Structure 1
Amino acid sequence: MKTITIEGQLRSEFGKKATRQARSEGQVPCVIYGGAETVSFSAPAVSFKNLIYTPDFQLAEIKLGSKVYRCVLKDKQFDTVTDELSHIDFLELVEDKPVAVTLPIRIVGQSEGVKAGGKLVVKIKALKVKALPKYLRENIEVSIDNLELNGNIRVEDVVAENIEILNSPRIPIASVVMTRQLRQEEAAEGKKK
């Protein structure tokens, strides 16, 4: 799994004044929680670019002095006016503690309905899951090989070992719909008969 390394420094001063000062220096205030202790630190805004502006699920390895924390991105906040990154929350991964994250869906295979002239419509691009850190992965693969024309693949159809899917089981992930051309062809055949 992809891991982004971020080097930061522990924050010793807190409050509005210290936070404004850190942001004016190009630093982003951050918090790591979920482990033995809550850690406040700041790091340069540019070091988060590859972690935040991507649809991929990645781990963050945060180096603060001699300590290294393995984390996942939990929350990010942007300034309402400038749209700059203003704060990040990380959740520390503890081996025996399940973690809830959002994993992207990767559609694989070739649908029977698409081969017959239908159009694949992807309804959701990610699933909320709960798993131990050792079972986390970059994405969840969903096979559409058996997806027929006018058919759906729902959350309940997804098979993921050692991962609990938190989304409602009836939500459709992808479907194959009839195209206008296919409908017109079927209507024309119906008139001929």
Structure 2
Amino acid sequence: MKTFQLNGTARTDLGKKAVKELRKQNLIPAVLNGGELVDLPYTGTLKPCEKLVELTGGKKGIIVTDFTVTKDSVRKLVYTPDIFAVELNIDGEKKMAVLKDLQFHPVTDNILHMDFLEVTDKKPVVMEVPVQLEGHSEGVRAGGKLSLSMRKLKVKAIYTNIPERLVINIDNLGLGKTLQVGDLHFEGLELMNAKNAVVCAVNLTRAARGAQAKQD
């Protein structure tokens, strides 16, 4: 997975008025959720841009960092089918993260908010990874039509093990056959989608049915 370098600026004013002013300046509010849980009560020191979010049960929490990024700086991160590990530099402090969520304006489609998750080489993270089909299907050669039902698959792995694409060979996919999530295996990755979910299929066309009928 490629690395995307992104600079951010810490923010402490979180009110609606402040957020509105940020957007006028072409800035996007963002948060970085800590990847590691902390024990409560927390005995460490929080920075002005950080806050502690208590999780259900009250014994653990996560540290959330509020910051801003510019619209131009995230354009190539957001408007692309590619996935990235993001090297965040917030006022000189660097942390590795992945983009977890985006909020868009329902009318203008402008980005309203971005959520990042801090990642490490010790704790697995769940991400959606694009699917890439390769090869020449038996079924397509016999006159069938290939359809891709799932353009992305959800995987769980250490972020350094997550590839840019999940490459699937379809040479042996016959006419009228499907390839399901349960048929796939990738070293170091756990697929999180339902095992019976269809990733791709070779559908019978009218010409293929006619040829098949003649053979029968």
TM-score band w.r.t. shorter chain: over 0.9
In 1: Cα distance, 2:211 partner to 2:179 partner: 26
**Structure 2 CA distance for aligned equivalents of residues 158 and 51 of structure 1:** 28
Return the alpha-carbon distance in structure 1 between the equivalents of residues 211 and 126 of structure 2.
47
Number of residue-to-residue matches in the alignment: 190
> Could you tell me which of 184, 191, 203 is aligned with 1:158?
184
- How do 1:164-179 and structure 2 match up within 5 A? 164-179=190-205
Partner of 1:149: 175
Match for residue 120 of structure 2 among 82, 88, 94: 94
* In structure 2, distance between residues paired with 1:135 and 1:185: 45
Displacement of 1:14 in angstroms is: 1.0
TM-score (norm 2): 0.83
Question: 2: distance between equivalents of 1:50 and 1:172?
Answer: 30
What SS does structure 2 have at the residue aligned with 1:47? Answer: helix
Q: Unpaired runs of 5+ in structure 1?
A: none
Letter in 2 for 1:41: F
User: Structure 1 CA distance, aligned partners of 2:77 and 2:84?
Assistant: 7
Q: TM-score, normalised by structure 1?
A: 0.92
Task: Write the distance in 2 (CA, Å) between the matches of 1:186 and 1:108.
Answer: 26
Percent identical residues: 37
Q: Secondary structure at the match of 2:202?
A: strand
Deviation at 1:137, TM superposition (A): 1.4
Deviations 1:64-99 (A, max 9, x none): 122112111100001123211000000111221111
1:8 is the counterpart of 2:34: no
Provide the rounded CA distance (Å) in 2 between the counterparts of 1:84 and 1:130: 30
Deviations 1:33-68 (A, max 9, x none): 133532111011111111111111112111112211
What is the aligned counterpart of 2:91 among 61, 65, 79? 65
Please give the residue correspondences for 1:64-83 in structure 2 after superposition, counting only pairs within 5 Å. 64-83=90-109
Partner of 2:129: 103
1:184 Cα offset (Å): 3.1
Distance 2:155 2:25 in 1: 37
One-letter amino acid matched to 2:139: G
Who is 1:31 aligned against? Answer: 31
Give CA deviations for 1:114-161 in whole Å, capped at 9, x if unaligned: 111111111111111111122111121111111011111110111111
| C-alpha separation in 2, matches of 1:80 and 1:147 | 41
- Tell me, yes or no, if structure 1 residue 122 matches structure 2 residue 161: no
Distance 1:49 1:3 in 2: 15
- Matched residue of 1:38: which SS? strand
In 1, the alpha carbon distance for the partners of 2:164 and 2:212 equals 42
The RMSD of aligned alpha carbons is 1.5
Does structure 1 conserve the Cα–Cα contact (< 8 Å) formed by 2:22 and 2:28? yes
Hey, what's the Cα distance between the residues in 2 that align with 1:89 and 1:182?
A: 48
The whole-number CA distance in structure 1 between the counterparts of 2:212 and 2:153 is 36
- Mapped contact 2:100–2:117 kept (Cα < 8 A): yes
Which residue type is aligned with residue 19 of structure 2? T
C-alpha separation in 2, matches of 1:133 and 1:59: 7
- The residue aligned with 1:184 is 210
